[in-house]
């Protein structure tokens, strides 16, 4: 609730500090005393556009501060937490206007934007009839107000889940169709690429092996020459084989008389002879394997050319071709199967859509049922408010599919007709001044117990009425005050008498200027003020007696 309001240097107000309590607070005073200035000040601190003409003449700045006491779970704390402002025991909003045309705002001493200030202000205070498009006049809030009256959070949750599931399923279909279209565009290329790789059947490391084989072929002449030289060295008449044989024979002839001294030499020569035999055999195998077949060299060249050509075509290394072959083949297989996959995704989307429509239909039916009860309750409030010929209706209509959302498919709008013969129209278009205020009062009384806690302010709700009608207005304001903090600026003694707290706004001359002040009235002062409201400038005994009756006192 609003617990304190401080206003400094706003038009007629030099400096003002007001404490507010729960229940219904009435503010009275003569025309021009400064009641509208007080509302303008409150509007500024709640995010209204800066009007620098409100700065008191001669002052360099105007400052308005509003302090609120709020429950820990009030929705405004969640918004401020997102903005990096830590919740505390109090919420203090300060707005400053400077004579140089600059404006600033803070919440709990943290600088904030006008957008955030306005957002918080809408959750804290509702000034009926003062700001077009805010409060009950904001059509975008009508759906939320009706849903609160319905008390069907469980159905709202199901609709939200169904909508999100439907949207995700629809997104999956779009992405699959996009992928299929893209694949279709490259299908010819893909099939040709896979076909060429099928024919090539590349193997990992193949390019390196073929390169080595080709190098061998291109050096066959040199290799054959070297083999010939080696063979001559080993097997010619004076070759190593014959020399080794003579050495081994010579040592064997004297080995018996050498007493074992030649055994090591004989073993070494024997091993050498064996190794030489193996070397000869290897040379023969190498010589026989050398095939200078030109057809094989041409085959190697063609294979290397195709491998390297495919690697260039796909911008990869030759050794990557087998993995690329596998990847492209998989994509081609997916392309062939994708139409069936999209069909399954579309079926899933239809299931989610059907589920959403079923939930939205239940939600819409509940809204329509509660809307009918709401209309009946509001209509019951209108006759005592001198709106006996007026009509009120809550429009619940289905929106175009493109506008369906997680809140369902309904649009909700409060409509009214102030006079017989008028068609129902948006509530702010069919009445003005006091009529509109009384329409909003009736609606507020019906919705009050399901709305989030906030401070209500009514201005001129009693305009153009008196007697029993004014008493009915006051009685409904008092009922609102029992549910949420309510302030009313009034000229009606019947309304003023219903307040739990009474402030009087008056202006007076001071130092050749006019200032406005606000006083908290005692019981006696309150009776005098209501008597003034009844009788005018000259208060009579009859007016005082009537004031006593209105207040329910035995005496003044």
List the one residue out of 124, 121, 126 whose CA is nearest residue 459: 126
The tens digit of pLDDT for each residue in 152-210 reads 889 999 999 999 999 999 999 998 888 778 777 778 888 899 999 999 999 989 888 88
Count the residues in the chain: 556
If you average pLDDT over residues 538-556, what whole number do you get? 80
For position 267, what pLDDT does the model report? 79
The tens digit of pLDDT for each residue in 106-158 reads 999 999 999 999 999 988 998 875 444 466 777 888 998 899 888 888 999 99
Cα 375 from Cα 380, distance rounded (Å): 9
Band (432; pLDDT cuts 50, 70, 90): low
Query: Other CB atoms closer than 10 Å to residue 242's CB: what's the count?
Result: 13
What is the secondary structure of 435-485 as a DSSP string?
HHHHHHHHHHHHHGGGSPP-EEEEESTTTT--HHHHHHHHHHHHHHHHHS-
The tens digit of pLDDT for each residue in 290-332 reads 665 667 778 888 888 999 999 999 999 999 999 999 988 887 8
Question: Residue 323: in which H helix or E strand, if any?
Answer: helix 321-381
Cα 428 from Cα 418, distance rounded (Å): 11
The tens digit of pLDDT for each residue in 47-63 reads 988 889 889 888 999 99
Asked whether residue 257 carries a pLDDT value surpassing 80, the answer given is no
Band (555; pLDDT cuts 50, 70, 90): very low
Asked whether residue 287 carries a pLDDT value surpassing 50, the answer given is yes
Give me the residues paired with residue 48 across strands: none
Give me the chain's average pLDDT, please.
84
For position 230, what pLDDT does the model report? 65
Q: Is 152 helix (H, G, I), strand (E, B) or coil?
A: coil
* Cα-trace Rg, the chain: 49
The tens digit of pLDDT for each residue in 393-411 reads 999 999 999 999 999 999 9
Whole-prediction pTM value? 0.65
Q: What burial letters (b/e) apply to 509-543, b meaning 16+ CB within 10 Å? A: eeeeeebbbbeebeeeebbbbbbbbbbeeebeeeb
Find tokens 């959302």 and name the residue.
Answer: 405
Cα 67 from Cα 109, distance rounded (Å): 12
Find tokens 């600059």 and name the residue.
Answer: 102
Boundaries of every domain in the chain = 187-334
Cα 455 from Cα 124, distance rounded (Å): 6
Query: Other CB atoms closer than 10 Å to residue 35's CB: what's the count?
Result: 22
Percent of the chain with pLDDT over 90: 38
Cα 257 from Cα 340, distance rounded (Å): 96
Cα 473 from Cα 386, distance rounded (Å): 10
The residues, ordered by sequence, that sit 6+ positions from 325 with a Cβ below 8 Å of its Cβ are 194, 197, 198, 200, 201, 202
Cα 73 from Cα 80, distance rounded (Å): 12
């Amino acid at each position: 609730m609003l617990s304190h309001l401080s206003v400094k240097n706003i038009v007629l107000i030099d400096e003002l500090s007001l404490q507010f309590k729960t229940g219904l607070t009435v503010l009275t005073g003569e025309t021009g005393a400064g009641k509208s200035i007080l509302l303008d000040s409150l509007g500024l601190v709640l995010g209204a556009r800066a009007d620098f003409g409100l700065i008191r003449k001669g002052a360099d700045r105007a400052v308005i501060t509003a302090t609120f006491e709020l429950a820990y779970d009030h929705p405004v704390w969640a918004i401020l937490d997102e903005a990096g402002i830590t919740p505390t025991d109090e919420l203090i909003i300060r707005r400053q206007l400077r004579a140089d045309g600059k404006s600033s705002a803070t919440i709990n001493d943290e600088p904030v934007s006008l957008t955030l200030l306005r957002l918080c202000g809408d959750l804290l205070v509702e000034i009926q009839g003062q700001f077009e498009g805010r409060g009950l006049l904001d059509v975008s809030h009508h759906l939320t107000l009706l849903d609160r009256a319905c008390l069907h959070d469980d159905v709202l949750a199901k609709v939200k889940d169904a909508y999100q599931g439907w949207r995700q399923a629809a997104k999956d279909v779009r992405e699959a169709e996009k992928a299929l279209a893209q694949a279709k565009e490259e299908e010819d290329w893909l099939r040709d690429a896979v076909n060429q790789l099928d024919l090539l059947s590349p193997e990992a490391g193949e390019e390196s092996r073929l390169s080595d084989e080709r190098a061998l072929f291109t050096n066959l002449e040199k290799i054959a020459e070297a083999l010939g030289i080696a063979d001559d060295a080993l097997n010619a008449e004076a070759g190593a084989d014959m020399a080794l044989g003579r050495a081994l024979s010579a040592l064997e002839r004297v080995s018996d008389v050498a007493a074992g001294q030649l055994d090591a030499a004989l073993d070494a020569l024997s091993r050498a002879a064996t190794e030489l035999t193996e070397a000869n055999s290897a040379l023969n195998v190498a010589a026989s394997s050398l095939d200078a077949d030109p057809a094989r060299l041409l085959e190697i060249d063609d294979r290397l050319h195709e491998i390297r050509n495919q690697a260039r075509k796909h911008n990869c290394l030759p050794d990557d071709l087998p993995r690329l072959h596998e990847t492209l083949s998989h994509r081609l297989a997916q392309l062939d199967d994708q139409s069936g996959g999209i069909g399954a995704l579309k079926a899933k989307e239809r299931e989610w859509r059907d589920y959403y429509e079923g939930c939205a239909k239940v939600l819409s039916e509940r809204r329509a049922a509660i809307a009918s009860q709401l209309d009946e309750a509001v209509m019951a409030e209108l006759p005592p408010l001198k709106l006996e010929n007026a009509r009120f209706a809550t429009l619940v209509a289905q929106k175009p599919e493109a506008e369906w959302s997680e809140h369902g498919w309904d649009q909700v709008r409060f409509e009214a007709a102030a006079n017989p013969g008028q068609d129902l129209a948006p509530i702010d278009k069919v009445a003005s001044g006091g009529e509109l205020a009384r329409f909003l009062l009736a609606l507020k009384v019906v919705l009050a117990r399901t709305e989030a806690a906030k401070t209500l302010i009514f201005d001129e709700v009693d305009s153009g009425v008196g007697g029993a009608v004014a008493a009915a207005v006051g009685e409904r304001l008092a009922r609102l005050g029992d549910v949420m903090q309510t302030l009313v600026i009034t000229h009606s003694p019947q309304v003023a008498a219903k307040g739990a707290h009474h402030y009087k706004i008056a202006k007076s001359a001071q130092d050749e200027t006019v200032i406005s002040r606000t006083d908290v009235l005692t019981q006696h002062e309150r009776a005098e003020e209501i008597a003034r409201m009844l009788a005018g400038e000259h208060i009579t005994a009859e007016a005082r007696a009537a004031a006593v009756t209105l207040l329910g006192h035995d005496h003044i």
